Amino acid sequence: MKNKNHNHSKLPNLIIIILLITMIIFVSYMQVNNSCSSYGEKILHQEDEIISINNRLIRYNESWSSLTSPRNLKKIIEYHNLDMMLPENKQIVRIESKISNKMTAGLNIK
């Protein structure tokens, strides 16, 4: 009789263990699945961010290009009453390479 009781209590324990293991596997799977999904969300978000940063960069490049066009620079220079001009030839110091003389450079001042 004692033996029978022993066998009877052993079976539900086994079932409980199996259920527990299954539950653990299930929960782990869910957790892995959730974290994968959350990483996926993050990646998607970052992909969107890259696109939006790239778009911002394009817009900055575009407006920089527009700002630095000679016409706009001229307007800005005039607006600030600056008297700017390109140097005359006599204001330019030219440096030529003098490889034959083993010099790094030579001044060519007129």
Partner 1 sequence: MEKKRTLVIEITIIIFFGLIFFRLAYLHLTPPEWITSRTEGMRLLIQKSNPSRGQIVDRNGELFALDAPGYTMYADPKYIKKHGNIELVSSIISKELFYDKNILMNNLLNSKRAYYPLLIKKPETHTSFKNFSPRDNLSITYKDKTGKNIVLNGVVLKKERIRSYPKGLVLSHVLGYINFDRIGSGGIEQSYHSYLLGKEGLRKGKKDARKKEIYDAREIDRPAEDGAKITLTIDQEIQNITEDVIYQMFLKFRTKSAWAIVQDVQTGEILAMASYPTFNPVEYNKVDEEWRRNRAISINFDPGSTLKTASIGIAIDKGVIDVEDQFDCENGRWLYAGKYLNDWKNFKTLNVQEILKNSSNIGTAKIMLKLGDKDLYDGLKNFGFGEKLSINLPGEEKGQLNDIKKWTKISSSRIGIGQGITATGLQMITLYSTVANDGVMMKPYIVKKIESFEGDLIHEYKPEVLRKPISLATSQKLREMLTTVVDTNGTGNKAKIKGYKIAGKTGTAQKVKSSREGGGYYDDKEVVSFIGFFPANNPQISILVMADEPSIRVNGKLPGGGTVCAPAFKEIAEHTIKYLKISPEGKRIYITQAEN
12 part of the interface to partner 1, by CB under 8 A: yes
Q: 70-79 and 2-67 helices cross at what angle (nearest 10)?
A: 70
Q: Which of 19, 20, 76, 77 binds partner 1 (CB under 8 A)?
A: 19
Q: Which is nearer to partner 1, 81 or 89 (CB)?
A: 89
Q: How many residues does the chain have?
A: 110
Instruction: Return the bridge partners of 106, or none.
Output: 96
> Residue 95 in contact with residue 106, Cβ under 8 Å?
yes
Question: Per CB under 8 A, does 103 bind partner 1?
Answer: no
Sole binder of partner 1 in the list 21, 24, 31, 41 (CB under 8 A): 41
